[in-house]
Structure 1
Amino acid sequence: MIVPSTAFTVTNTNDSGAGSLRQALIEANAAVGGAHVISISATGTINLLSALPQIVNISVAINGPGADSLTINRSSGGNYAIFATPGILYTRAYGFSGMRLQNGAGGSGAIAITGGSTTLNACVIANNLGTFAGGGVGLVSSTITITNTTFSNNRTPLQGAAINAQGSALTISNSTFSGNQITGTSGIAGAIQHFASSQPLTLANVTFSGNTSASLGAGRGVALECDSPGSFRNTIFNGQSPQIGGGGCNSLGNNLSSDGAGNLNQAGDLPNSNPLLSALGDLGGSTSTHALLPGSPAIDAGTSTGAPATDQRDIARVGAVDIGAFESRGFTITRTTGNAQTATINTAFASPLGASVVSAASEPVQGGVVRFTAPGSGASATLSSPSATIAASGEANTTATANGSAGSYTVNANAAGATGG
């Protein structure tokens, strides 16, 4: 925490002048003392017409009203990161919270920090370009703690489309990395590159999905490349293979990956599993997230050890912890069609078997999976789709054909995270 020696307030979204963010940074750099807080009360979009002043040898926290209320956008004036320090190893503290940073285009896209320690909380880092490395954030010989933050659609040709961390320690929890991209054919890590460091990377309840890399040589990880010590638990890796690479990555258990990379062999690990995620969207809280859909194997599959008390949206994690940044609030499954019908042996039932799934919390259900289960012996049925995808209507259906044994029986419908059926 940064205790201010001087406090500044940003009251408008102007590029410059009294009450602007630019003016607050000018005054903070010039102020006596080393720790300052800049509070941004203005909402809307700050369109930068040129680079903001670098943060020079001061500790400063810059606090916005919320990532859904304030955007800081590089509008014109060349290529530059939105917030940056000089390439000097100052041992200062930097904090950024409650804002969306977009369209940055420096050597690192949105934030470029050398030395010191940084906190990043409840931010959205989106659509930035790292012309060298670190499409979202670039770190050199630094320490960063990231919570409740989304990195989406950032890109770089070389290293770390979301974060490039050289000689740095990273602690990340309750955060989402989605759609970040390595554009160069010799690049590394579509989300996080951690290298040249004895300092650790630690992940808890993080979701990686849809990050990509144009370069897949030598087993380089698309989501995560740990060439320095790294560990993770309760984390989802989903998308282009291989998701995890580098010799420093170690599972602490209860992770889920869409492929088999990364030696996910600890208790509770779920390699080669489809997490059943929704599209990235505004699903509560001030930052965008991927929901866990009905039937997701990540639901209730995490460990409370090291898990935050709330999810990225500040929703309480109750009962068994879910894997990833999003905690499902559950679903209800209800029988809709096909009940109490008859068919002669070895013939199809006239009506499909249907089940409807709803979320009382208005969380998405489309694309989830309902599993229909018929008895394994005796009178039973053959199902056309034992695992049926939930349609936009919230309903999943399968057809059934009676087997060769006469008698009554029940076909159950269920989905992970759902009650009823």
Structure 2
Amino acid sequence: MNFISQCLITVFLLLLATNGLAQSDSGVYYVKAGDNAGLIQAIEDANAMDGEFSTIVIQAGDHGETGFIFTLPYGETDTALPPISEDITFDMQLGNSRQVAFQRASSVAPFRLFDVVEKGKLRLQDAIVDGFNVTGNGGAIRAGADARVDIYGSLFRNNFASGFGGAIEVAGNAQLVVRGKGGALGDGNSLNGPTEFTGNRSAIVGGAISITGNAHANIFYAVLADNDAGFEGCDLYISSTGDLHPEGEALILQNSTFDGNCSGTLVENSRGLLSVKNTTFAGRGTGIFGGDWVDLFSNIFDLAAKDGCLDVGGAFNSRGYSLESGNTCSLDQPTDFFNTDPMLKAEDNHTFSLLPGSPAIDAGASEISDAINQKNGLPCGYVDTQGLGRPQDADLDGTYECDIGSYEVQGGPDIGPAQSAAWYDPGRNGEGDFLEMLSGESALAAKFTYAMDGSGPAWFIGVGSVVGNSVVISDMVYPTGGVFGAGFDPDAIVREPVGGMSMVFSNCESGASKPGRMMFESDPNSPFGDLLADAFRLSDIVDCNGSQSPQSGRSGSFYDPERDGEGVFVQWLTGGGVLIIWYTFDPDGNQLWVISESAVVDGNKVTANMLYPAASTSYGENFDASEIDLQPWGILTLEYQPGCDGLLFSYESSLDGYGTGAYDYVRLTRLAGTSCDL
């Protein structure tokens, strides 16, 4: 990838990281790592925004600093930084795939890092939070009232609270969301991998996290290891009604790994509905104390003392597909296993892989299920604890089946440039995915589909990682706020995170006998639901033998920087054709995509007849291909410039309200394995 393309993809990654709750007049504040006073001022200014969304961008310090070291609390508080009372996102832009470190200096008075108050919202991603110590609750972060805290791809280590929650406490009506970021396991500096809690301690309960009052939490793709508590709940403590959660759970725990090292329970569920799905419990300690209702689905319990669960009054309810080395978790479904060795192998980064012959391999569910609280969901999420897309086809029999627990065994060889293509499910003809394999183990994917209510076309897009035989994207975003033509305002675009997605391929060709698999897992407040579909190859840019057309280097994504929020995908195919899809908005501000029916190449110019969904179907389980009616939209012309990094984009529509127009497009992505012929 040349310098221009590197810069453009960096910009695109940063744009995708923006929280979708942003308003068009949101504040952006730039702070250099190491500038504590500047960080404090930025938070004070953001808190003064009075209901608006703000982003604090952390950049590398003037002398190479990559974090902040705090020696004093803020004012008369017990917190390093001003209380978060508004909606604030921290956007880490150090480059070189590094996380920003927030550290409390040793041998100073105790204080936490953040206090999120009232209706404040904190989104923290790509951070290391290290060594905070507080007299009270929430060693690093405390959230109460109606606050919300979102943690993505971060590391919490060696934090302490004399009260509840060694790293984090959520109380009152607060909400906590903890997620990893899809991609290979990190090394403490990587932007990809699970969110980790290691070496945190509470003097009372909840060594890592405490959830009390009416608070609720979602923890997905996390690792909790070597945390401790003075009494119970070395990792998690739950005592919450969870009444405000849409499904009533105090905690949903999914695709996570516990590497216990304590004499008590790892998860103490004193009060509240706890749902545990595709999670592995290993090491020392009792897995879960069930003082209240606990739903179990597709988990592994392999504790040293074989005491996976401590049941009080029949709290445990198995939904199937779980495996226990002992017999304490009331596993009573035909698909459950007890007194069975899962054959785990301890790996680095507190991961437990499955040895060949493990009874957990391909023993989980394989289809959308309502096993947990009658809500349709993926059988095992979209990513495992090592960052690999799931489910896999471990035995290569053509069926993608989940492994039990948080780890998935890869089925098939690693993928490469040949996976750049358009993909679709013949049973869902009329929607599909564009996948671009980029350099540096990264990939871009876009889903072209329809609104949940069938009101028209929809699209969402994201950048993620290539891991083994899969592409994993943690943040698919759904842009809104645009309008077709001259009224388009890039500052009005709101990019709403809607979920995570993976695509898994057991072979390169992914044809009729062994297609790939696409998994999309929606965020709790997403306008879309979970989706599981086959991935049949619709196009070839670089085929599985490495062959390609001379024009393959013209493929990629292009956009007008003055119209950031819309753009075009172009695929130059091995057979000589060109496939184009333009993602934009209609004159009323609704999302729109148009796709080429045919294209004519004349030197450096492509002219394509475009189709649009004149009639739509619904996203998800109500999809009906017979409801879709693709009709002529007009003509697109792409005239490439020398070097293939720019093109003159013009259109002439046959529909009212669109007219004609032309823009100067620049390259956003260059596909791996291709080179320019111009």
Q: Contact conserved, 2:126 with 2:152, CA < 8 A, in 1? A: yes
Q: Partner of 1:74 in structure 2?
A: 104
**Which residue of the other structure, out of 214, 226, 230, is the alignment partner of 1:179?**
226
**Which residue of the other structure, out of 119, 123, 130, is the alignment partner of 1:102?**
130
Q: Partner of 1:22 in structure 2?
A: 40
Q: Contact conserved, 1:234 with 1:303, CA < 8 A, in 2? A: no
Deviation at 1:278, TM superposition (A): 2.4
Residue ranges of structure 1 left out of the alignment (5+ in a row)? 282-288, 333-359, 362-421
**Which residue of the other structure, out of 261, 268, 271, is the alignment partner of 2:321?**
268
Deviation at 1:177, TM superposition (A): 0.9
Taking a change above 3 Å as real, the CA distance of residues 130 and 91 of structure 1, as seen in their structure-2 partners, is same
- 2:175 and 2:353 map into 1 onto residues whose CA distance is 31
- 2:66 and 2:360 map into 1 onto residues whose CA distance is 36
Taking a change above 3 Å as real, the CA distance of residues 127 and 29 of structure 1, as seen in their structure-2 partners, is same
SS of equivalent residue, structure 1 residue 79: coil
Q: Give the TM-score taking structure 2 as reference length.
A: 0.43
Q: Partner of 2:331 in structure 1?
A: none
Q: Contact conserved, 2:167 with 2:208, CA < 8 A, in 1? A: yes
- What are the superposed Cα offsets for residues 122-160 of structure 1, whole Å, 9 maximum, x if unpaired? 111111112211011111121112111111111111010
| Structure ranking higher in strand proportion | 2
Q: Contact conserved, 1:9 with 1:39, CA < 8 A, in 2? A: yes
Equivalent residue runs for 1:375-386 within 5 Å: none
| Structure ranking higher in helix proportion | 2
Q: Contact conserved, 1:110 with 1:128, CA < 8 A, in 2? A: yes
- 1:204 and 1:110 map into 2 onto residues whose CA distance is 23
Deviation at 1:162, TM superposition (A): 0.8
Q: Contact conserved, 1:2 with 1:93, CA < 8 A, in 2? A: no
Deviation at 1:247, TM superposition (A): 2.3
Deviation at 1:327, TM superposition (A): 3.4
Q: Which moved more, 1:161-170 or 1:225-234?
A: 225-234
Equivalent residue runs for 1:105-124 within 5 Å: 105-106=133-134, 107=136, 108-115=138-145, 116-124=147-155
Q: Partner of 1:143 in structure 2?
A: 175
Amino acid across the alignment from 1:44: T
Deviation at 1:72, TM superposition (A): 1.0
SS of equivalent residue, structure 1 residue 222: strand
- What are the superposed Cα offsets for residues 346-369 of structure 1, whole Å, 9 maximum, x if unpaired? xxxxxxxxxxxxxx96xxxxxxxx
Amino acid across the alignment from 1:96: L
Deviation at 1:264, TM superposition (A): 6.8
Kindly tell me the number of residue pairs found equivalent between the two proteins.
Answer: 314
Taking a change above 3 Å as real, the CA distance of residues 250 and 7 of structure 1, as seen in their structure-2 partners, is same
- 1:209 and 1:50 map into 2 onto residues whose CA distance is 33
**Identical pairs, percent:** 23
SS of equivalent residue, structure 2 residue 123: strand
Deviation at 1:222, TM superposition (A): 2.4
Q: Partner of 1:278 in structure 2?
A: 346
Residue ranges of structure 2 left out of the alignment (5+ in a row)? 1-19, 74-79, 181-194, 244-248, 311-315, 326-340, 370-376, 393-399, 414-466, 469-678
Q: Contact conserved, 1:174 with 1:326, CA < 8 A, in 2? A: no
Q: Contact conserved, 1:234 with 1:302, CA < 8 A, in 2? A: no
SS of equivalent residue, structure 2 residue 139: coil
- 1:50 and 1:325 map into 2 onto residues whose CA distance is 40
SS of equivalent residue, structure 1 residue 21: helix
Amino acid across the alignment from 2:323: L
Taking a change above 3 Å as real, the CA distance of residues 130 and 279 of structure 1, as seen in their structure-2 partners, is farther
Q: Contact conserved, 1:173 with 1:325, CA < 8 A, in 2? A: no
- What are the superposed Cα offsets for residues 41-73 of structure 1, whole Å, 9 maximum, x if unpaired? 336232122233333421112232488432111
Q: Give the TM-score taking structure 1 as reference length.
A: 0.67
SS of equivalent residue, structure 1 residue 28: helix
Q: Contact conserved, 1:101 with 1:124, CA < 8 A, in 2? A: yes
- What are the superposed Cα offsets for residues 27-46 of structure 1, whole Å, 9 maximum, x if unpaired? 21233443212122336232
**Which residue of the other structure, out of 227, 231, 252, is the alignment partner of 2:271?**
227
Q: Partner of 2:237 in structure 1?
A: 193
- 2:156 and 2:67 map into 1 onto residues whose CA distance is 14
Deviation at 1:329, TM superposition (A): 2.7
- 1:234 and 1:242 map into 2 onto residues whose CA distance is 18
- 2:105 and 2:363 map into 1 onto residues whose CA distance is 43
Amino acid across the alignment from 1:177: L
Q: Which moved more, 1:52-61 or 1:4-13?
A: 4-13
**Which residue of the other structure, out of 374, 385, 403, is the alignment partner of 1:322?**
403
SS of equivalent residue, structure 1 residue 292: strand
Q: Contact conserved, 1:232 with 1:250, CA < 8 A, in 2? A: yes
Taking a change above 3 Å as real, the CA distance of residues 299 and 154 of structure 1, as seen in their structure-2 partners, is farther
Q: Are 2:362 and 1:300 equivalent residues in the alignment? A: yes
- 1:8 and 1:79 map into 2 onto residues whose CA distance is 31
- 2:408 and 2:93 map into 1 onto residues whose CA distance is 24
- What are the superposed Cα offsets for residues 284-311 of structure 1, whole Å, 9 maximum, x if unpaired? xxxxx51414245544344354432223
- 1:126 and 1:196 map into 2 onto residues whose CA distance is 25
Taking a change above 3 Å as real, the CA distance of residues 41 and 222 of structure 1, as seen in their structure-2 partners, is same
Amino acid across the alignment from 1:46: F
Q: Are 2:204 and 1:158 equivalent residues in the alignment? A: yes
What root-mean-square deviation, in Å, do the aligned CA atoms of Structure 1 and Structure 2 show? 2.9
SS of equivalent residue, structure 1 residue 240: strand
- 2:72 and 2:404 map into 1 onto residues whose CA distance is 41
